[in-house]
Chain A
């Protein structure tokens, strides 16, 4: 069964781009448009991997990751951050929030696929 991935990004084009490029690589992609929506979708979908943006309205990526990690069923779920930010400060904040890895936008679809396989057995 293909891996189910929830992508959270407030930009519709980014969501579509992720969906288009990852579906081709055999992943099943679901999407949410901000942290709050993402958290709700986590409950609903119980995905194998969460990929989230950082800068989003309502609930940002850091808050989403923290909230997800607080839930026992998601303690071991890999979480990748996909953001245009790349400062070490942001990265370590994401790490302490509970992120597994960080990918900087813009992304190369193949390399993103490889990165996913790196955290998602």
Chain B
């Protein structure tokens, strides 16, 4: 069981993460003024579930904190505490502590200090009015009553304390329990049980109580049947009898009480201890004396209760009975209709999805190998295109299984921003958009850290202090906009701030000082901005006036590039800076054009390809600086020879007329990429490159082609962008 329990606990923590995300989203929405019932209920439920699981798995601190948080949420839900901005702020802070408690329960952190925030929560409850605050305090007091022993079902007794036992923690309403503790040693228990008339409604069965008492060694000493009405008045579903049983003295009182946990309200239960008086023949386990005598002194309330019950029952019987039936018929139909609508979810281990994805990848490869090897006549047969189509559909489906909204990666940001605001004493609002953009799970997992860096940069160094902002005529509150959007097979993740922008002079000076560029280099604004991502640019020494940090944007860049993505920076002095992470939608499959160069094959992502041109003579012309352009229906597009970029001379064709120019779309506009020939267009399964190939910019991965050979996949943007800017870093960097 302990292994099972660990597994289940792991799932509980997953749920906690989901619950926290839901709660944060809801609380943020409330802070923004959307305090609709659904939103509040969602937050309440999330915290409530965390509390439930925390109790089950014995995380007392988490349970206790979430309990108190939930009390406040419950009052907000009930409209007793208004969802004002102050209240929302307190709840967001409480949420942060709750996250810490969850982390602590997972063993990832110490149990957080929560006294201050608990006091604030209590204050909310107090402020709402005296009556409500006492209700809220009762549970709070129950939590520390953790001495065990008395709690009925739980591992820790949030729910029950000693006093509660009398009022039956599980029953619905206190049943009448008369307990007489006598000093005499170990007398037999005498229990009288008169179920209320409707004890058999709601699936109740008084006889089961008697059976359970019998299992404890009880014997029935009397059954009162005089309440049984004449047959014509008898309600077949009514309970009429009352029992008196004697239970051995060795049975604990609480155990007897438990038997009555679920008896209907208004039932009479009397538990008394018989003094071993000389007159009592029932001191041992023998038959008890006649019932009526034995219970004579506790009998008084019973008839009253019965009478009430009876009249209630009578009143209830005639009408509701008649009413319920037609309702039942009406309701049955919608209930059946609902069956079809239920969406069922299955939780699947990600490793199984990965395995499936890999297998599908292999299937795609085998599929292309097969079609490569068949004659073209065979390829035309119906089965093959059908097989290819099915394979692609399977592939798409498997990919969609792994796709998740990027919201998950965004979920940590609001809290981080709140903390940054506190630590930097700045007031920064967060705006998010495109959270529903779906991205492969593997991508989501890996963008957390770069995202954190980018947000920190923005708040730490992008946004100015409130005074400085006001002096510049900006609103005192800074703004960070986090957005995600999908374009083709790429995800654009932007962190935009409205801060001071990058101070290019200082960046340039610093880059020279660090030996990254030479003092006489001429760089465009973009190139200067990109310097802050250059390896070795940011070091321990922080330049506070620019968006650079000790930890370094170069780490962000290398992380993103390892994912097959890139980082772009654009900045307007005085207006703000935008960092963009351009990431592949998936790390697994790519629609590509297979090209050949110097005997090697490469894959150009089809998303980049605009058109292909077989140049006429003179269509490709040299211009200054040993670059070339292609005349494309009157517009000139710069041409890069792939052979130059990869330094593949000799081997590649030299004469443009023998080559093919692929016009690709890049961030820098259209560029012609000159290769020897085009071979094919196909979907390829991306295999990641070995780590030591990462430094080669322009490579996005590798793939296995239909004939089993390997081809490198090009990252066009990086490839085209690199020579102008990054080669400068690289060359100078090596020299330094």
A33 to B15, CA, bound (A): 13
A16 to B56, CA, bound (A): 12
Task: List 11 extra interface pairs beyond A56-B45, A104-B153, CB under 8 A.
Answer: A11-B49, A16-B8, A20-B5, A39-B338, A40-B342, A44-B339, A67-B331, A84-B159, A106-B156, A107-B56, A115-B170
- B202: A residues at CB distance < 8 A: 69, 79, 95, 98-100
* Max chain B C-beta neighbours (<10 A), residue from A13, A56, A91: A13
Within the complex, which residue of B53, B152, B159 is in contact with A14, where a contact is CB–CB below 8 Å?
B53
Within 8 Å of chain A (Cβ to Cβ): is B697? no
- B160: A residues at CB distance < 8 A: 104
A24 to B1, CA, bound (A): 10
Instruction: For the complex formed, measure the closest distance between the CB of B206 and the CB atoms of chain A, giving whole angstroms.
Output: 11
Within the complex, which residue of B211, B261, B331, B338 is in contact with A40, where a contact is CB–CB below 8 Å?
B338
Within 8 Å of chain A (Cβ to Cβ): is B69? no
- B52: A residues at CB distance < 8 A: 11, 14, 53, 83-84, 105-106
- B171: A residues at CB distance < 8 A: 91, 101-102
Could you give 18 example pairs across A and B, Cβ below 8 Å?
A11-B12, A12-B14, A16-B11, A17-B5, A33-B345, A69-B202, A71-B332, A78-B204, A83-B52, A92-B173, A102-B170, A105-B55, A105-B56, A106-B56, A111-B153, A119-B203, A119-B205, A121-B211
Instruction: For the complex formed, measure the closest distance between the CB of A30 and the CB atoms of chain B, giving whole angstroms.
Output: 13
Within 8 Å of chain A (Cβ to Cβ): is B9? yes
Contact call B9/A106, Cβ cutoff below 8 A: no
Contact call A108/B11, Cβ cutoff below 8 A: no
- B345: A residues at CB distance < 8 A: 33
Contact call A36/B44, Cβ cutoff below 8 A: no
A13 to B13, CA, bound (A): 9
Contact call B327/A101, Cβ cutoff below 8 A: no
Instruction: For the complex formed, measure the closest distance between the CB of A34 and the CB atoms of chain B, giving whole angstroms.
Output: 9
Within 8 Å of chain B (Cβ to Cβ): is A70? yes
A80 to B170, CA, bound (A): 10
CB neighbors of A among B198-246 (8 A)? 200-205, 208-209, 211-212
Contact call A106/B331, Cβ cutoff below 8 A: no
- A40: B residues at CB distance < 8 A: 335, 338-339, 342
Contact call B261/A115, Cβ cutoff below 8 A: yes
Contact call B335/A43, Cβ cutoff below 8 A: yes
Instruction: For the complex formed, measure the closest distance between the CB of B175 and the CB atoms of chain A, giving whole angstroms.
Output: 12
Contact call A101/B261, Cβ cutoff below 8 A: yes
Contact call B332/A103, Cβ cutoff below 8 A: no
A81 to B161, CA, bound (A): 20
Contact call A10/B5, Cβ cutoff below 8 A: no
* Max chain A C-beta neighbours (<10 A), residue from B14, B56, B160, B324: B56
Instruction: For the complex formed, measure the closest distance between the CB of A31 and the CB atoms of chain B, giving whole angstroms.
Output: 11
Within 8 Å of chain A (Cβ to Cβ): is B344? yes
Q: Write the chain B residue with the least CB distance to A106.
A: B55
Contact call A84/B173, Cβ cutoff below 8 A: no
Within the complex, which residue of A14, A77, A88 is in contact with B203, where a contact is CB–CB below 8 Å?
A77
Contact call B154/A114, Cβ cutoff below 8 A: no
Contact call B15/A13, Cβ cutoff below 8 A: yes
Within 8 Å of chain B (Cβ to Cβ): is A112? yes
* Max chain A C-beta neighbours (<10 A), residue from B212, B259, B338: B338
Please tell me the size bucket of the interface on A: 35 or more
Contact call A100/B156, Cβ cutoff below 8 A: no
Instruction: For the complex formed, measure the closest distance between the CB of B630 and the CB atoms of chain A, giving whole angstroms.
Output: 58
List chain B positions with a Cβ less than 8 A from chain A.
1, 4-5, 7-9, 11-12, 14-15, 42, 44-45, 48-49, 51-53, 55-56, 152-156, 158-160, 169-173, 200-205, 208-209, 211-212, 258-259, 261-262, 265, 324-325, 327-328, 331-332, 335-336, 338-339, 341-342, 344-345, 347
Contact call B203/A79, Cβ cutoff below 8 A: yes
Contact call B172/A102, Cβ cutoff below 8 A: yes
Instruction: For the complex formed, measure the closest distance between the CB of B310 and the CB atoms of chain A, giving whole angstroms.
Output: 19
- A100: B residues at CB distance < 8 A: 202-204, 262
Main secondary structure of the interface of B (DSSP, over half): helix
A88 to B335, CA, bound (A): 29
- A79: B residues at CB distance < 8 A: 202-203
A55 to B50, CA, bound (A): 12
Q: Write the chain A residue with the least CB distance to B1.
A: A20
Contact call B159/A86, Cβ cutoff below 8 A: yes
Q: Write the chain B residue with the least CB distance to A85.
A: B48
* Max chain A C-beta neighbours (<10 A), residue from B45, B53, B170, B345: B170
Instruction: For the complex formed, measure the closest distance between the CB of A43 and the CB atoms of chain B, giving whole angstroms.
Output: 6
Contact call B4/A20, Cβ cutoff below 8 A: yes
Within 8 Å of chain B (Cβ to Cβ): is A26? no
Contact call A118/B154, Cβ cutoff below 8 A: no
Given known pairs A71-B335, A121-B205, the reply for A106 and B154 (CB within 8 Å) is yes
Within the complex, which residue of B9, B51, B153 is in contact with A108, where a contact is CB–CB below 8 Å?
B153
A76 to B198, CA, bound (A): 12
A37 to B339, CA, bound (A): 7
Contact call B53/A11, Cβ cutoff below 8 A: yes
A13 to B8, CA, bound (A): 5
A10 to B344, CA, bound (A): 12
Within 8 Å of chain B (Cβ to Cβ): is A94? yes
Write the A33-59 contact mask toward B (1 if CB under 8 angstroms, else 0). 100110110011000000001011100
- B209: A residues at CB distance < 8 A: 118
- A80: B residues at CB distance < 8 A: 262
A17 to B7, CA, bound (A): 10
Given known pairs A12-B11, A12-B15, A104-B159, the reply for A84 and B204 (CB within 8 Å) is no
Given known pairs A57-B45, A70-B331, A84-B52, the reply for A12 and B347 (CB within 8 Å) is yes
Given known pairs A11-B53, A20-B1, the reply for A112 and B173 (CB within 8 Å) is no
Q: Write the chain A residue with the least CB distance to B327.
A: A70
Contact call A101/B262, Cβ cutoff below 8 A: yes
A10 to B44, CA, bound (A): 13
